[in-house]
Structure 1
């Protein structure tokens, strides 16, 4: 399995694309792709956001799961509009103290999935 830097190299080699072409096709800045390619921000808690990884997958014509695995990330489940609406309704009904607890809990869950 490729890491993200190797995956970027492979895509560029297989498609004969420059980093600029990959950036244009994915809608991600060249500087961001360069930092991933150099390994500066390719994995871990400072790594790419799920939305950028999805953009990269679409632009490179790769399965989302392959890109997330290369970045060492758990693939977040998609959420339909109705589920999001219900979730936000519940969130808005909490007071600030409970929102803080929920945010900390969710952050801990995300960190656990990354390790």
Structure 2
């Protein structure tokens, strides 16, 4: 069952209730600090306006035994898609062919796109 967007706190509560886990157990299983999980559970998020990082959301999904998509959607985040090896190789080849000034433009553009997807 997928929760509505921005229901990370409800997802944490559901995991704890269904598995009969404490926040400490969830923290230990996911490798995320209790304080971080507590801030997510309280709706505070604890990471500024950007919300939880993709890396922490993946750790939470793994530790809770949930699909990554469910966790990202509950956090109101765009679900990153893995890049296959060949696509990554082509992308890096193109990036390396640019001069430093153009690389900085590409980096800034990618950063702006990433930030846009977080909102």
- State the TM-score, normalized to the length of structure 1: 0.84
Gaps of 5+ in 1: none
Query: Compared with structure 1, are the counterparts of its residues 46 and 114 closer, same or farther at alpha carbon in structure 2 (3 Å cutoff)?
Result: closer
The residue aligned with 1:9 is 13
The residue aligned with 1:66 is 70
Report the 3-state secondary structure (helix = DSSP H, G, I; strand = E; otherwise coil) of the residue aligned with 2:76: coil
Query: Compared with structure 1, are the counterparts of its residues 8 and 42 closer, same or farther at alpha carbon in structure 2 (3 Å cutoff)?
Result: farther
1:5, 1:39 within 8 Å by CA — same for their partners in 2? yes
1:43, 1:71 within 8 Å by CA — same for their partners in 2? no
Does residue 40 (structure 1) correspond to residue 59 (structure 2)? The answer is: no
The residue aligned with 2:33 is 29
| Counterpart-to-counterpart distance in 1, 2:48 and 2:69 | 17
Report the 3-state secondary structure (helix = DSSP H, G, I; strand = E; otherwise coil) of the residue aligned with 2:50: coil
CA RMSD of aligned residues (A): 2.1
Report the 3-state secondary structure (helix = DSSP H, G, I; strand = E; otherwise coil) of the residue aligned with 1:62: coil
- State the TM-score, normalized to the length of structure 2: 0.82
| Counterpart-to-counterpart distance in 2, 1:64 and 1:26 | 13
Does residue 50 (structure 1) correspond to residue 50 (structure 2)? The answer is: no
| Counterpart-to-counterpart distance in 2, 1:55 and 1:66 | 13
| Counterpart-to-counterpart distance in 2, 1:54 and 1:22 | 13
Shift of 1:87: 2.7
